[in-house]
Amino acid sequence: MTRRPLIVANWKMHHTRTAAEDWCSKWHELREDEPWPERIEIGVAPAFTALKTLRARGRSLTLALVGQNCHQEPFGPFTGEVSAGMLEDAGCAMVIVGHIERRQHYGETDRLIAQKVKAVREAGMVPIVCVGESENQRESGRTEPIIESQLRHALSLVSLARGAEIVVAYEPVWAIGTGRVAQPEQAEAAQAFLRGILASITNRDVAGDARILYGGSVNPDNASVLAEQPHVDGFLVGGASLDAGTFHRIVKAFAPLVGD
Ligand code: PEP
């Protein structure tokens, strides 16, 4: 495959610093036993409290640090919030923006998501922009207009010169945390469509280089067939990333596709 695969563990509100340490120790052992090609990029999005732990351990393990969320402003009286600049300062290279759990539980709108994408870019990091349709929207044939609208809004305040400046995650709402993974052809169709939209927002080179991840109930049993889809450049993994061994088996799905 031409694009470098990216697999991101989204720990959500799980794992204390001790659990993060344990995860890293297990990860180290697994990688020693069974290394995989350097071309596969791995990111971990821990809780804010475990960022420092991951930063300390992640360098030697070549794990990229990912923020789960940020505020749209650079600083100010926003109790309980963390800015994009603070995440960059903590060592993050990427930040997840527009996750369905933020949209659903915290009322994040397309407008706010666009502001967060801009904040992440201005802080010198790469946003992982999540888009996805609900079950109703899919059943009523509205998947494409919904994910197109989400992507266009999310990118409306930034201008992208290179594919490396953005990651898109296609995460059908009905597949997240449900055990109902998208069929490989459903993921492929949606992701090929998103690449076309990205090309119309930017250009063909940017869209051709940008990574588009699939997220939603990925596990070691379904990872290989999804990874084989030409427009699936990696995964955003929730539940199955909490155990280092399970996550390791998911990552390995990309090994035969990239060569040494
Ligand atoms: C997610 O929350 O981004 C996700 C993909 O979760 P899960 O893998 O648990 O479906």
Distance 136 CA to ligand 1 centre (A): 19
* pLDDT at residue 152 in the model: 98
CATH 3.40.50.300 describes domain 6-257: no
> How far is residue 238 from each of residues 52, 92, 218, 243, measured CA to CA in Å?
20, 18, 8, 10
Catalytic residue list: 99, 171
Instruction: Please identify, by atom number, the ligand 1 atom nearest to the C-alpha of residue 241.
Output: 8
In this structure, the residue with its CA closest to atom 4 of ligand 1 is: 238
**In the prediction, which pLDDT does 67 show?**
98
> Which pLDDT score is estimated for 206?
98
- Per-residue pLDDT of 83-124, as tens digits, reads 999 999 999 999 999 999 999 999 999 999 999 999 999 999
Give the pLDDT score at 57. 87
Kindly give the parts of the chain with pLDDT less than 50: none
Tokens read off for 77: 């009286």
pLDDT value at residue 260: 59
For the Cβ of 234 lying below 6 angstroms from any atom of ligand 1, the answer is no
Kindly tell me the sign of the dihedral angle through the C-alpha atoms of 99, 102, 105, 107: negative
Residue 98 CB less than 6 A away from ligand 1? no
Q: How many angstroms does the Cα of residue 251 sit away from the middle of ligand 1?
A: 15
Task: Give the gyration radius of the chain's Cα atoms.
Answer: 17
> Which DSSP state fits 159?
-
| Ligand 1 touching residue 46 (CB < 6 A) | no
CA of 237 to the centre of ligand 1 (A): 5
Q: CA-CA distance, 141 to 150, in Å (whole number)?
A: 16
In the chain, the amino acid numbered 231 is H
CA 43–ligand 1 middle distance (angstroms): 14
pTM of the entire predicted model = 0.97
- Give the pLDDT confidence score for residue 59 in this predicted structure: 79
Pocket test for ligand 1, best of 8, 237, 247 (most atoms within 8 A of CB): 237
Q: Judge whether 65 and 90 are in contact, CB under 8 Å.
A: yes
